[in-house]
Amino acid sequence: MKRLLFSLLLGGTGLALAPAAAQAQTTPADTTRTVKPQLNTAPPGSAPARRPPPTPRTEPQQPAPATAPPVYQPDPNVPASRAPAYDPNRPSGMDLPNRPGVAPPPPPLRKYFLYTNFGLGFSGYDGYNQFSASVAPAIGYRFTERFAAGPGISYAYNSYSFGRGGPTIKTNSLGFKGFAQFIVYKEFFLHAEYEYTKAETLGIDYNNGIVYTYKHDVRTPLAGVGYRNRFGERFAADIVVLYNFNDGFDDIYGQPVIRFSFMYDLK
């Protein structure tokens, strides 16, 4: 009985070990089928090549639909007689600077200016000669861009000579004046003055032929043309040629009167 049980025990053990032995015999065959790892054949120090990321696809943008400009509608509360003229280039009604097609605004008009002139004159007839020099500062006011006027004062010096062997007499005169100018074309202008002077002039005693000086009132109207040359925004120089309508013996300026004037614009 003991022998029978021992034989059965050995037989069961053999059956249990048979699959393990079979698996052990198949293992070397299976290892020969495994894939070998690939070696890196790139040069030393170089990074492995990477594929660029895919470019995202963007849909083309559609242009915005064009909108019609707003149509001007007049204010119903404003009468048609007072309604401003609409200009599509000036929708706000103002000329803004630095806009295409819009000229920059002109510089502001300077109303007041200083005006000082220097005069020279010479006349002579039948051995009688007269030389005159004058200075007349004034202040002017521009009523418009082309018309200006103002008051001033004047001082005149005269020297009279009566030929060979004759006396030479010198006089001094002080007066008040008003002037006006009108620009005709660019830098050319008309100039007019009227001067009232406490003048020192010559007198003659016809009984004995003596020449003497005396003081009296002299009224001198002048008119002519001038040319202006500007040296900057505020400073200018004029040359003026005037005709003296008081062309008499008590004249204090001579004929013609040539003046060199200087102008300085104030605020």
* DSSP characters over 109-173: PP-EEEEEEEEEEEEEETTEEEEEEEEEEEEEEESSSSEEEEEEEEEEEEEEE-STT--EEEEEE
Question: What is the average per-residue pLDDT within 158-166?
Answer: 77
Question: What is the average per-residue pLDDT within 88-102?
Answer: 58
Task: Quickly count: other Cβ atoms within 10 Å of residue 154's Cβ.
Answer: 23
pTM to 2 decimal places: 0.52
Query: What is residue 40's predicted lDDT score, i.e. its pLDDT?
Result: 56
Query: What is residue 254's predicted lDDT score, i.e. its pLDDT?
Result: 74
Query: What is residue 33's predicted lDDT score, i.e. its pLDDT?
Result: 52
Query: What is residue 26's predicted lDDT score, i.e. its pLDDT?
Result: 45
Strand-pair category, 210-230 with 235-244: antiparallel
Whether residue 61 is contained in a domain is answered as no
CATH number at residue 167: 2.40.160
Whether residue 125 is contained in a domain is answered as yes
Which structural domain range is residue 182 located in? 114-265
**Tens digits of residue pLDDT in 107-124:** 677 789 999 987 777 877
More confident residue, 184 or 76: 184
More confident residue, 183 or 206: 183
Query: What is residue 124's predicted lDDT score, i.e. its pLDDT?
Result: 75
Whether residue 241 is contained in a domain is answered as yes
Residue 179 has pLDDT above 90, yes or no: yes
Whether residue 34 is contained in a domain is answered as no
Whether residue 25 is contained in a domain is answered as no
| Nearest 10 degrees: Cα torsion 147, 153, 159, 160 | 80
- Residue environment code for 225-242, b if the CB has 16+ CB neighbours within 10 A, otherwise e: ebebeeeeeeebebebeb
Sequence-distant (≥ 6) Cβ neighbours of residue 67 within 8 angstroms: none
Query: What is residue 104's predicted lDDT score, i.e. its pLDDT?
Result: 63
**Tens digits of residue pLDDT in 7-39:** 555 555 554 444 544 444 444 444 445 555 555
pLDDT band per the 50, 70, 90 thresholds, residue 71: low
Query: What is residue 229's predicted lDDT score, i.e. its pLDDT?
Result: 92
Query: What is residue 30's predicted lDDT score, i.e. its pLDDT?
Result: 47
The residue whose two tokens read 């006396």 is 167
Residues 95/117, Cβ–Cβ less than 8 Å = no
Whether residue 197 is contained in a domain is answered as yes
Indicate the number of domains in the chain: 1
Task: Output the average pLDDT for the chain.
Answer: 75
Whether residue 37 is contained in a domain is answered as no
What is the percent of the chain with per-residue pLDDT over 90, rounded to a whole number?
22
Residue 90 has pLDDT above 80, yes or no: no
Cα 236 to Cα 116, 148, 177, 187, 199: the distances in Å are 11, 15, 21, 11, 30
More confident residue, 91 or 157: 157
Query: What is residue 214's predicted lDDT score, i.e. its pLDDT?
Result: 83
**Tens digits of residue pLDDT in 222-237:** 999 999 998 888 899 9
Whether residue 85 is contained in a domain is answered as no
Residue 89 has pLDDT above 70, yes or no: no
pLDDT band per the 50, 70, 90 thresholds, residue 192: very high
Residue 149 has pLDDT above 70, yes or no: yes
